[in-house]
Amino acid sequence: MAMKLQVVGVGKDYLIPVIERVSFSVEAGEFVCLLGPNGCGKTTLLRIIGGLEPATRGTVLLDDRPVVAGDAHSRKVGVVFQEDRLLPWMTLAENVALVLKPLGLPAAERRAIARRHLGLAGLAGFEDYYPGRTSGGMRQRAAIARALAIEPDVLLMDEPFGALDAQNRRIMQNEVRRIWKETRRTILFVTHSIEEAVAIGTTLIMMSARPSRLRETIRNDGRIERAKLIDDLNTMIMEEVERQQGGAPS
């Protein structure tokens, strides 16, 4: 089941403050794209939301219950990283089935679920291929299938198509949009590409330069003309990149 996500005053300091304070909320079943200049803390924020890292300030709520970093079993959060992170010595189906093991399902059921999700990701017929024998686009689909197989309440994607060529990228954008329509998961999707965000997100969130805050939240409901929206977002990101370059080094 999709869950509502609330980020409440979340901040993170490493050696320098990275995220000052960010608050936003994502309704269940929304597809949110997160944009912002390099190094503003997008990956850090995703890791905090996923419970992979503690916040320095603030709280993340999933359906009103706080996410506790390291407490992996309290929530089902699917994560897709920029690189596919598949194990090369396992087939695609085995890679997907592996993440189901901690859920305590019997082996036959794990295999069936893995095959079903590979099918959903457009990989029917390739279940028994090893990652090394498939294309980059196929591996990224398998990584998406793996994230979806646990039936996550929230799906976090960190520039999942960054390593793909333009054509594969467009295909994958359509695929992820289709999967989202079919499964209605809450998705938080980080991207560098404004065109990509405008093409697939229902809500666009722009972070500011580091130490970051929220610069803008835009409902991508077609009310603003697409070309103008892309233009406005490009202007915003250029301003933030300039601000960041004027600040501390990354």
Ligand X SMILES: Nc1ncnc2c1ncn2[C@@H]1O[C@H](COP(=O)(O)OP(=O)(O)OP(=O)(O)O)[C@@H](O)[C@H]1O
Name the CA dihedral angle for 214, 218, 224, 230, rounded to a multiple of 10 degrees. Answer: 50
In the list 2, 10, 18, 55, the residue contacting ligand X (rule: CB under 6 A) is: 18
List C-alpha distances in Å: 175 to 2, 110, 245.
19, 23, 35
The three-class DSSP label of residue 115 is helix
**Residue 18 binds which entry of ligand X, Mg ion, none, with Cβ cut-offs from 5 to 8 Å by kind?**
ligand X
Q: Which amino acid is at 240?
A: E
Question: Residue 51, interface with ligand X (CB under 6 A)?
Answer: no
Q: Between 175 and 240, whose beta carbon lies closer to ligand X?
A: 240
Query: Measured in whole angstroms, how far is the alpha carbon of residue 144 from the centre of its chain?
Result: 10
Annotate 118-156 with DSSP letters as a single string. Answer: HHHTT-TT-TT--GGGS-HHHHHHHHHHHHHHT--SEEE
**Residue 39 binds which entry of ligand X, Mg ion, none, with Cβ cut-offs from 5 to 8 Å by kind?**
ligand X
Stretch that binds Mg ion, among 39-47, 61-69, 171-179, 214-222 (CB under 5 A): 39-47
Peptide bond into 54 cis (omega under 30): no
Stretch that binds ligand X, among 2-10, 37-45, 73-81, 221-229 (CB under 6 A): 37-45
Beta carbons of 187 and 4 less than 8 angstroms apart: no
In the list 8, 29, 43, 81, the residue contacting Mg ion (rule: CB under 5 A) is: 43
- Least distance to ligand X, CB of residue 82, Å: 8
Beta carbons of 9 and 21 less than 8 angstroms apart: yes
In the list 38, 56, 183, 193, the residue contacting ligand X (rule: CB under 6 A) is: 38
Question: Residue 25, interface with Mg ion (CB under 5 A)?
Answer: no
33 - beta bridge partners?
A: 189, 204
Stretch that binds ligand X, among 35-43, 73-81, 84-92, 99-107 (CB under 6 A): 35-43
Question: Residue 49, interface with ligand X (CB under 6 A)?
Answer: no
- Least distance to Mg ion, CB of residue 43, Å: 3
Residues that bind ligand X (CB under 6 A): 14, 18, 36, 38-44, 250
